[in-house]
Structure 1
Amino acid sequence: MRAAVFHGPGDVRVEEVPKPELTEPTDALVRVTHTAICGSDLWFYNGDSDREQGSRVGHEPMGIVEEVGEDVRRVEPGDRVFAPFVISCGQCEFCRKGLHTSCVNGDSWSGENGGAQGEYVRTPHADGTLVRVPDRYADDEDALESVLPLTDVMGTGHHAAVSAGVEPGSTCVVVGDGAVGLCGVLAARRLGARRIVAVGHHEDRLALADEFGATDTVLGGEGDEVEQVLDVTDGGADHVMECVGAASSMDTAVSVCRPGGTVGYVGVPHGVDAAGLELYDFFGDNVTLRGGVAPVRAYAEELLADVLGGTLDPAPIFTKTVDLDGVPEGYRAMADREALKVLVTL
């Protein structure tokens, strides 16, 4: 089969690799029809994080089940499915708590599983990991493009909103205008926020935030963004969503959070450590910090119902579509900020 393979910073190639096979009775083999390139994929692509050269890449698969192990009960060949970015068993202590990203039997999509930016993936713990799309939507391309973000960014944006405590009638601030931040705007609207302030550095992305339900937008680089947010919100917000992961974005988040409020963070810490985090800002105003890597499997069914019901549509985050051969170009376009998020169709 063919799959995207990492060969070093700026070098992703589509190559022939061994097709994965079932190895456990709880496995399923899925033929990938849709996947995506994630902002977190740019870390290794840009040389900002280490990754083994020759490894397969991608973690947002959707496709058709082709084969299942003898112990798989929830899906069968022919089913349309999607999978979160982390494999989970669905049965351990942490999965039962809704913390699937801490699954004691968890796994990733790289290595021998196939890499999700490729033609096939082997899914360990298929019953715990795969989410079935109802048959009537199995070939509805518009619906499928709206469902695909549930593999990662929509569930992650939702986790930011939940962690920040967003509730009906509340005011919230979303720091970050990447795909996760924009999905955070959607999530805040879905949870009933009355006021949603989106903070970012790209006019086109903030325009999309406006379409997604932001009531106000603040463009960084045009004056002090903290002061702008404080002015717009009349002193800050009780619910702040940090969707970037940089020290500067965390500083912005805590600076615009009202005393006693909560910062929900899902931006993977990048260049942030305990020494670089001003804990006194949290301590002095009794600001709570909640969040972490998003257990998107815990949110999959409820978000899927809203997508298929027509009340939630994250598909506009895809601003470029490529086929499998176009994956290297997709990486380049995202790295050069020519695309927000790239959809890959096989």
Structure 2
Amino acid sequence: MASINQLTFIKPKQFEWHEVPAPTLQNDGEAIVKPLAVTRCDLDLYMASGMYPMQGPFAFGHEIAGEVVEVGDGVKGFAPGDRVIVPFQINCGACDNCRRGFTNACTSVEPFAAYGFAPTGERKWGGGLSDLVNVPFADAMLVKIPDAVSITGAAAISDNAGDGYRTVAEPLKQRPGADILIVAGLAQSVGLFSVQAARALGAGRIVYRDYDAGRLAKAKALGAEVIETQYSPDLRATEEFPIVVEAAGLPDALTFAIRSTQPCGICSGVSAGMSNQAKVPLRSMYMKGITYTIGRVHARTEIDHLLDCAHCGTINPDDVITRSVPFSQAADAMMDPDIKIVFERD
């Protein structure tokens, strides 16, 4: 039986390269893709360090761009040699949720089915830091990479760049040209992708708050006004915004983000933080009439929207990437503090 190499998460701070059976086509609608670039998701860093606990072992890496090497007889839109984005969530494209754009909740597979995470059902989907991955619904999932988009930028579009985009896209449809506040922190690249998307979509002022000097410098380079901020329980809003993005993943930052949202404004949460519980000031939100949204990105749905901006040059995900590392060094570099690492095939 043919085999491949796969970066495997064993436990926090421990990764190993394992030889595992090569994925094969199991039906005529599938494809086999060779990952060429895999960006480190913000969450990957915290799974690797143990801040976000996950039970190993499982294949690692889920922001994938690569090349199709084999397709089933039923695949109509792709052929070997195509450069493609592989959305990290498994979705069929045909169930009611997928047709409505809710591709993070496909009912054809087990809940939370995705590459690069501990499996939630019988099937293991593998990870991007592998020689090959199986794409079960090739025509629905895969997206060809436009010539204007790099393979490294395409990898980021499979998750974090799309997550940043969705935090501002819908609110700006409701309030074109509105000012935006980004309360940033642990979701370190998503907050910066929110800056990119806000500029591309015509936001007014874009104010970026963070406690990290490197991210503040990057946000300024991307066109935001920056304010160094240490989040604390008594931090009061100095200004209110109609649109707020909470990308810090910290309880005090969430409170501050809601305090900074104008009456009848919109606050979008990127993550639930590192704890199973968080205090949400519901009474204050009720009195101000705030809309607060939180949830995993619908990765496949957002890819098309984001590629429109990337293709015409208003968004370049490569501007957020801070370091390139060969696949072979991925285990050693996984916990480096860089904002956004891309692993490229040696």
Normalising by structure 1, we get a TM-score of 0.89
Aligned to 1:15: 18
| 1:53 and 2:59 are equivalent in the alignment | no
Task: Report the Cα offset of residue 223 of structure 1.
Answer: 9.2
User: CA 1:165/1:282 → structure 2, altered by over 3 Å: closer, same or farther?
Assistant: farther
CA offset digits 1:295-319 (Å, max 9, x no partner): 1211212321321222211212221
What amino acid does structure 2 have at the position aligned with 1:113?
Answer: W
What amino acid does structure 1 have at the position aligned with 2:80?
Answer: P
Relative to total residues, which structure has the larger helix share, 1 or 2? 1
1:270 match: secondary structure = coil
Does structure 1 conserve the Cα–Cα contact (< 8 Å) formed by 2:232 and 2:253? no
Aligned identity (percent) is 28
Aligned to 2:312: 309
RMSD (Å), alpha carbons: 2.1
**In the aligned structure 2, how far is the partner of 1:147 from the partner of 1:325?**
20
- Among residues 140, 148, 151, which one is paired with 1:144 in the alignment? 151
Task: Report the Cα offset of residue 197 of structure 1.
Answer: 0.6
User: CA 1:202/1:302 → structure 2, altered by over 3 Å: closer, same or farther?
Assistant: same
| 1:113 and 2:122 are equivalent in the alignment | no
What amino acid does structure 2 have at the position aligned with 1:284?
Answer: M
User: CA 1:43/1:49 → structure 2, altered by over 3 Å: closer, same or farther?
Assistant: same
Task: Report the Cα offset of residue 62 of structure 1.
Answer: 0.9
Does structure 2 conserve the Cα–Cα contact (< 8 Å) formed by 1:14 and 1:324? no
Aligned to 1:168: 176
Does structure 1 conserve the Cα–Cα contact (< 8 Å) formed by 2:97 and 2:107? yes
Could you tell me which runs of 5 or more consecutive residues in structure 1 were left unpaired when the two chains were aligned: none
| 1:179 and 2:167 are equivalent in the alignment | no
Does structure 2 conserve the Cα–Cα contact (< 8 Å) formed by 1:14 and 1:327? no
CA offset digits 1:70-109 (Å, max 9, x no partner): 2212211111101122121111111111111011124311
Aligned to 2:143: 131
How many aligned residue pairs are there?
330
Does structure 2 conserve the Cα–Cα contact (< 8 Å) formed by 1:247 and 1:271? no
| 1:156 and 2:156 are equivalent in the alignment | no
Normalising by structure 2, we get a TM-score of 0.89
1:113 match: secondary structure = coil
Task: Report the Cα offset of residue 272 of structure 1.
Answer: 5.2
**In the aligned structure 1, how far is the partner of 2:43 from the partner of 2:217?**
23
Task: Report the Cα offset of residue 247 of structure 1.
Answer: 1.6
Could you tell me which runs of 5 or more consecutive residues in structure 2 were left unpaired when the two chains were aligned: none
CA offset digits 1:214-234 (Å, max 9, x no partner): 1x211113999954x62xxxx
What amino acid does structure 2 have at the position aligned with 1:24?
Answer: N
Task: Report the Cα offset of residue 42 of structure 1.
Answer: 2.5
Does structure 2 conserve the Cα–Cα contact (< 8 Å) formed by 1:185 and 1:213? yes
**In the aligned structure 2, how far is the partner of 1:74 from the partner of 1:250?**
43
**In the aligned structure 2, how far is the partner of 1:306 from the partner of 1:162?**
12
Aligned to 1:5: 8
| 1:255 and 2:259 are equivalent in the alignment | yes
| 1:270 and 2:274 are equivalent in the alignment | yes
What amino acid does structure 1 have at the position aligned with 2:208?
Answer: A
